[in-house]
Amino acid sequence: MRGPVSAGITGRRTGGPARTTGLLGLWDLPCVAASARTARGHVRARLREETFHGDLDTVSLLVSELVTNSVRYSESGLAARPGTVSVVLARDARFAEIDVIDAGSRWSTPTVLHLPLGAERGRGLRLVREFSASWGVVIDASGCCVWFRVPWDG
């Protein structure tokens, strides 16, 4: 998938939030495990520069979970031939929004799992649901975008 950001804020279709106005950053990263760390570093640094007053640790955690999911489950994350995971950071007057975009998967879609407490897996999207103001998934022919918003002022 080239121009994966087209699935995100700039070209959001049904299922996305209202358009977010200010694009703060866009990073195309190799869809490998190490990019979770890279992504959270970029997002943190940019939010700091922009004097974000929300919870940076929460944003970092959620970015990591989503990038890790792209690596594990999307076709961008195929170990033999990693593609791209794109991270978009944007804001409007009230919220910071992060979009994590991959090439999608024939086998799975992002789904909140309802596993017993203490299960080894199934926490990532629950954390996103719990700690974001809103979130969602947009899937189209060009790929899969999982987005979330957190209050800009905490």
Task: By CB under 6 A, name the binding residues for ligand ADP.
Answer: 65, 69-70, 73-74, 102, 105, 108-111, 113, 121-126, 144
> Letter for the amino acid at 74?
S
- Of the residues 124, 147, 150, 152, which one makes contact with Mg ion according to CB under 5 A: 124
Calpha distance 94→92 (Å, rounded): 6
User: If you search the block for the tokens 């791209």, which residue do you land on?
Assistant: 84
Calpha distance 107→74 (Å, rounded): 8
Find the shortest distance in angstroms from Cβ 122 to Mg ion: 8
Residue 16 interface partner, choices ligand ADP, Mg ion, none, CB cut-off 5-8 Å depending on type = none
Find the shortest distance in angstroms from Cβ 134 to ligand ADP: 17
Residue 70 interface partner, choices Mg ion, ligand ADP, none, CB cut-off 5-8 Å depending on type = ligand ADP
Stretch that binds Mg ion, among 12-20, 99-107, 108-116, 117-125 (CB under 5 A): 117-125
- Cα within 13 Å of Cα(40), Cβ side: 18
Concatenated DSSP letters for 9-55?
GGG--TTS-SPP-EEEEEEEEESSTTHHHHHHHHHHHHHHHTT--S-
Please say which residue, 60 or 69, places its beta carbon nearer to Mg ion: 69
Find the shortest distance in angstroms from Cβ 124 to Mg ion: 3
H or E stretch at 69 = helix 56-73
Stretch that binds Mg ion, among 16-24, 56-64, 67-75, 107-115 (CB under 5 A): 67-75
